[in-house]
Amino acid sequence: MFREMRRGKQALHTAACEEVLKRGTAGVLAVAGDDGYPYAVPLSYVYDAGRQAIYFHSALSGHKLDAVRRNSKVSFCVVDKDSVMPKEYTTYFRSVIVFGTIRILEDGGEKYHAIEALALKYAPDDSREGRDRVIGDGTRFCMLELKIEHMSGKEARELSRHKLDIAADKWKLKDITCLYEKESRAVYGASAAEWGNVIVKISEDKKELKSGFDMLKALDGTGCCRAYEFDSGDGIMVIERISPGSPLREEQNPEKRVEAFYSVFQTIHTSGADCEGHETYMDWLERAEQFCKDNHMGEEISRKMHRACQIGKEMFAKYPERVLLHGDLHHDNILLGSDGYCMIDPKGIIGPEIFDIPRFLLNEFGYVSPKEITSHEIKVHLQRIFKLLKEKTGYCVEDMEKLLFMEGILAAVWCMEDGEDAEEELSSLNCFFKKTLP
């Protein structure tokens, strides 16, 4: 129904699109206006991620309302960045456009939810009493709900390089090399007189980047790379580059892999860590389940995602301790340094310590030869890993199996969110669980 973006390399992933909608303060709503003319009107708005909806305030009558009563299909655009570069005859831009159907809210409860969300966005410091005085009984205005059916975003490929120039000038970086560039995130290697070899990470998901930086800063090099600088305005982080930097994936001995994983696992989780302002693992799971519902992802994946959420809740109840987790502690985020293995790239998410095990387990599927991927071969290999982890951590195999299923389904749904094929993740899980839910 909706067209594919012509220049796919400039496309933003879903999470980056949502961040644009969250921080934007105005956009342009396009409707089918009078006499066949399009009518595009600039509006304030608020984005509700949980409901996958955008809310607008309106007068009780006018061109806009007449248009949406005739035709509920609309689009809405938000321009997040538009830096004019005269010497290059271009702009460094970022924008998001959504398509969906719009309706006038008639129910009192829905209408209050919408106007309160708008008030909280634009006047967050006002009291409830203050908001209620302005809102009144809700009869003096109209509220519109745009239910999102399709969302896409686009940015100039040069935008990350522009930010890199800012970082290089600010922190006197030299010998810069590109390690990874994709959509709204990039990773570069560089050298700095003050710190030596460093990694520069640039991301539009500034909240996640800041959570990871805070975790590294709190650990101060214990079991991890050191964190040096963070620019919240441009979403730039400078951290230590681990040398030699060989990833744990290169270790072929399973006992040594588990030993290295555990050496990091037991070091980075500290009780009493400052968890304020960080998301929880349940936030991730619940958003993924909502995504399946809102996008009609099919009965099977929706059922499995629901079960993944149930497992998350069960494990949160069973293991009441809360620590700052890495959140993505797989083999490529554990590197060999001069003093042993250490971790990089944490997400800084809150949950029980055991929740940092399943991502490691998912990577273990990669050590079974593609020619031998049967439920028996995978079972044999993973049961060996489970046994080794139980000896190290004391966690029971049944709980680790449940969390492996949870993590695998979450990873598959994230692939779907990004428009990628999730078949590899799902087929490996199906082999291990024989298509039954744990």
Domain range list for the chain: 8-156, 159-240, 275-433
Average pLDDT along the chain: 88
Tokens of 25: 């303060």
DSSP string, 158-209: HHHHHHHHHHHHHHTEEEEEEEEEETTEEEEEEEETTTEEEEEEEES-HHHH
Fold of 8-156: Pnp Oxidase; Chain A (2.30.110)
Helix axis angle, 397-417 to 375-393, nearest 10°: 120
Tell me how far apart the alpha carbons of residues 438 and 228 are, in angstroms, rounded to a whole number: 42
Listed in sequence order, the residues at least 6 apart from 42 whose beta carbon sits closer than 8 Å to its beta carbon are: 26, 27, 28, 29
Q: Given CA atoms 244, 247, 250, 254 in this order, what sign does their dihedral have?
A: positive
pTM listed for this prediction: 0.71
Type of residue at 286? E
Nearest to 201 by CA among 183, 213, 223, 186: 186
Confidence of residue 374 (pLDDT cuts 50, 70, 90): low
Burial of 127 (0-12, 13-18, 19+ CB in 10 A): exposed
Architecture field, domain 275-433? Alpha-Beta Complex (3.90)
Domains 8-156 and 159-240 share a fold: no
CA-to-CA distance for 368 and 252, rounded, in angstroms?
11
Mean pLDDT, rounded, for 161-174:
88
Quick one: pLDDT band at residue 271, thresholds 50, 70, 90?
low
Mean pLDDT is lowest, of 171-180, 216-225, 375-384, for 375-384
Residue of 368, 369, 360, 361 whose CA lies nearest to 332 = 360
CATH number for the domain whose boundaries are 159-240: 3.30.200.20
Amino acid in position 145:
E
Determine the pLDDT at residue 136.
76
3 state DSSP class of 92: strand
Peptide bond connecting 244 to the previous residue in cis, omega within 30 degrees of 0: yes
Question: Which H or E run includes 283?
Answer: helix 281-294
pLDDT at 434: 66
How far is residue 105's CA from residue 132's CA, in Å, rounded to a whole number? 18
Element (H, E) at 31: strand 27-32
Select from 331, 328, 216 the least CA-distant residue to 281. 328
Confidence band (pLDDT; 50, 70, 90) for 172? very high
Average pLDDT over residues 402-413: 94
What span, in angstroms and rounded, lies between the C-alpha atoms of 334 and 42? 47
Q: What is the pLDDT of residues 8-60, one digit of tens each?
A: 556 777 877 888 899 899 999 999 999 989 999 999 999 998 889 999 999 99
The pLDDT tens digits of the residues spanning 111-167 come to 988 998 998 899 888 888 887 887 777 678 899 999 999 999 887 767 777 788 889
Confidence (pLDDT) at 266: 94
DSSP 218-258: HHTTSSBPPEEEEETTTTEEEEEPPSS-EEGGG---HHHHH
Which has more confidence, 355 or 51?
A: 355
Q: Are the C-beta atoms of 104 and 67 separated by less than 8 Å?
A: no
Residue 417 falls in which region: left (phi positive, over 0), alpha (psi -120 to 50) or beta: alpha
**pLDDT at position 329, please?**
96
Give dist(CA 45, CA 31) in Å, integer: 16
